[in-house]
Amino acid sequence: MTEAPEEFRTAVAALRSVCPRPEVTLEPIRAPRRLAPWAFAVGAETTGPGDVPASGRLVLLHDPCGQEGWDGAFRIVVYLRAEVDADLAGDPSLAAVGWSWLTDALETSGAGWTALGGTVTATSSTRFGDIDGPSRSDDVELRASWSPTSTELRPHGEAFAQTLGSFVGLPPVGVTLFGQRRGE
């Protein structure tokens, strides 16, 4: 197999250097093989206040020739999913707020991007019959992709981890919620 291009190796090293907040775990996972000649993926998990779980993945795609719609040789694709309560799932502003969590995180991290697009979806499921689990569950999902404007991808990885924290309800780093004490 051909060695990965230097710019791809640099981009992967930048993503591997991300040190998220303690509540978020990031680890390499198997990347999709057919979307681009070179790919790298990171899985993420966290638990927010009230033990609300969230998970996600970030996939870095690289095609030295670029692809239609990428506006560059790299594309970042993210997927995030978090459980929410039924009231929040039914809030008509949830999609706009969820999207702003991503765009705000990209801006505050200093990530440069172009060709950003995606969806935010709230789902509610009711179980019937012999299916285990709670009778109802509500989730919010974000699916997005964009093209970074450089191979310095650490800010993009930091924005991904920050967005996951927002989806699960973690306060900004350095902020303590009322009722929480250090060490809890």
Q: Let me know if residue 180 belongs to a domain.
A: no
Rounded to an integer, the average pLDDT of 142-167 is 95
Percentage of the chain beyond pLDDT 70 is 92
Q: Let me know if residue 182 belongs to a domain.
A: no
Say how far apart CA 41 and CA 57 lie, in whole Å: 7
Segments forming the whole domain that contains residue 159: 6-168
Average predicted confidence (pLDDT) for the chain: 88
Please tell me what DSSP assigns to residue 32.
Answer: P
Distances 130 to 69, 76, 124, 133, 134 between C-alpha atoms, Å: 45, 39, 18, 9, 11
Per-residue pLDDT at 54 exceeds 50: yes
Rounded to an integer, the average pLDDT of 155-177 is 85
Say how far apart CA 72 and CA 67 lie, in whole Å: 8
Q: Let me know if residue 179 belongs to a domain.
A: no
Q: Let me know if residue 173 belongs to a domain.
A: no
How many domains, the chain? 1
pLDDT digits (tens, 9 = 90+) for 153-163: 999 999 999 99
Say how far apart CA 176 and CA 170 lie, in whole Å: 9
Q: Let me know if residue 176 belongs to a domain.
A: no
- Of the listed ranges 19-23, 90-94, 138-142, 146-150, the least confidently predicted one is 90-94
Per-residue pLDDT at 182 exceeds 60: no
Higher-pLDDT residue of 70 and 133 is 70
Per-residue pLDDT at 51 exceeds 50: yes
**pLDDT band with cut points at 50, 70 and 90 for residue 168:** confident
Q: Let me know if residue 139 belongs to a domain.
A: yes
Q: Let me know if residue 149 belongs to a domain.
A: yes
Q: Let me know if residue 24 belongs to a domain.
A: yes
